[in-house]
Amino acid sequence: MGFTAKMVFQMERAEQRRSISLERLERMARAVGCDLVYGLVPWERSLEDRAMELVEREVWRKRYTARKTGTDGPGTKGLGT
């Protein structure tokens, strides 16, 4: 797929405005023989730390729910309740 100078200018402008679509970026990447790589980079912690935080929050939620209802909820076995 060829791009005209005008198309390249428009895509670069859209990219600067942060309004370019992933589909368009992918087409640009293919046109120049590249793969588009899209990712998320944490601001402060590693993704592993964030994942552990979410797991711990879920464990505490299940413990609280089990205590509140007086029954062991699903997935609470062995959590010390």
Q: What is the pLDDT of residues 28-59, one digit of tens each?
A: 889 889 999 988 877 777 888 888 999 999 99
Residue 18's pLDDT band (boundaries 50, 70, 90)? Answer: confident
Task: For residue 28, give every residue at least 6 positions away whose Cβ sits within 8 Å of its Cβ, in sequence order, or none.
Answer: 3, 11, 36
Domain boundaries, the chain: 1-39, 42-74
Alpha carbons 28 and 34: distance in angstroms, whole number: 8
Q: 79 — phi, psi (to 5°)? A: -100, 10
**In b/e form, how buried is each residue of 37-72, taking b as 16+ CB within 10 angstroms?**
eeeeeeeeeeeeeeeeeeeeeeeeebbeebeeeeeb
In the predicted model, what is the mean pLDDT of the chain?
A: 81
Placement of tokens 């590693």 in the chain:
46
What's this model's pTM, rounded to 2 decimal places?
0.44
